[in-house]
Amino acid sequence: MLMRILFFLIGIILTSISLCFLIIYLNLFNMGYSFCEYVNFIIRRFEIICIIPGLFCLIISMIKRKEKLK
């Protein structure tokens, strides 16, 4: 149970950081970036790549496991 809570917290933290930076980088459109340049920029940033392990941790924490009664 403690591992599920830990994975959930880590997933929330990584995902929220990534989404915050994604919103911050939307300001690049005001500086004249096209959509292709924007996507090319954000897929190379470490902050945005952290969304993948964050979502993975969230999914792992939500999987129900069958526990055998003894």
* Distance, CA of 53 to CA of 31 (rounded, Å): 30
Residue 1 in domain: no
- pLDDT band for 12, please (50, 70, 90 cuts): very high
- Whether the pLDDT of residue 63 is over 80: the answer is yes
- Nearest Cα neighbor of 4 from 56, 53, 58 is 58
Number of domains in the chain: 1
Residue 54 in domain: yes
Residue 67 in domain: no
**Amino acid, single-letter form, for residue 31:** M
**Amino acid, single-letter form, for residue 26:** L
**Amino acid, single-letter form, for residue 49:** I
What value does the mean pLDDT take over residues 39-60? 92
Tokens representing residue 29 in the block: 């459109």
Whole-model pTM: value is 0.80
Residue 22 in domain: yes
**Domain range enclosing 35:** 8-61
